[in-house]
Amino acid sequence: MQTVAFIGLGIMGRPMALNLIRAGHPLVAVNRSPGPLQALEAQGAKVAPTPAAAARDAQVVITMLGDTPDVEQVYFGPQGVLSATRAGMLLIDMSTVDPAIARRIAEAARDAGAGALDAPVSGGEAGARAGELSIMVGGDEAAFAQALPILEVLGKRVVRIGPSGAGQVAKACNQIIVAVTLEAVGEALTLAKRAGVDPEVVREALLGGFAQSRVLEVHGLRMLQRQFQPGFRAELHRKDLRIALAAGRSAQAPLPATALVHELLTALMARGGAGLDHSALVTVLEALSGQSDPAG
């Protein structure tokens, strides 16, 4: 079993790292806050003080970080992963970030004789805990083949999309679909309520028709029950849509619905909802319609 350095033990990273330990991989962990490190250390992980120190003790480095600047610092900073990268290593960034940083990491890794993949995920905390994430991979075929046994510990669907950066483009597409569907479900339930029709019954009926979706099933119920404790925070989805919009500008692909939902999430954050589940988007639509139910 290859030793894995895992950097970033947030809501997603911690259960992913734990699954690698359970699968038998020796693991070296790095995180800014000590709590998750102590929990993994109790499960047999080693703790390293810096990304470079972790990389020196590992054959594979996995990062699961919040945003593009975090990834840039962890890889390119003075104590970053690339300062300790050597031939034969494999670098896997599973964060959701700008495709351009994925291509920069891949180029730097090639210069060091190492492989690199961008492998963002979908499936949320529940998927991370169960090892059932959907993983969208960008990078060359040789690096993908090397990484596949590790990625299959973390996900039930692992698909190589194309060259470096392609995984991040696929994740942007995923986040667009989720966001726009989330907004549509919120609109529909808000309309039902304003029209004097029971939105719970409307949702039940729609689940049996062509409008059925996982978002309607799971997040529609959250909206109705006012259960907005975060499975995926609104501020993170807004960040992902910012990345998607930047990718759209770069590719000259207009994304008007994405821009709308980005602004609605901005409004949710302005109302104090940054840390709420992204399904709390419905509260902005309700406010626009003259309803003033609390976000929960």
Cite the active site residues: 171
Q: Are strands 133-138 and 155-162 parallel, antiparallel or unpaired?
A: parallel
220 CA to centre of own chain: 21
CB 162 within 8 A of CB 138: yes
Which three-class secondary structure state does DSSP give residue 155?
A: strand
CB 3 within 8 A of CB 28: yes
Q: Are strands 4-7 and 121-122 parallel, antiparallel or unpaired?
A: unpaired
Tracing tokens 């390119």 back to the chain, one arrives at 76
**At 37, which amino acid appears?**
L
Q: Are strands 4-7 and 27-30 parallel, antiparallel or unpaired?
A: parallel
d(CA 96, CA 106): 15
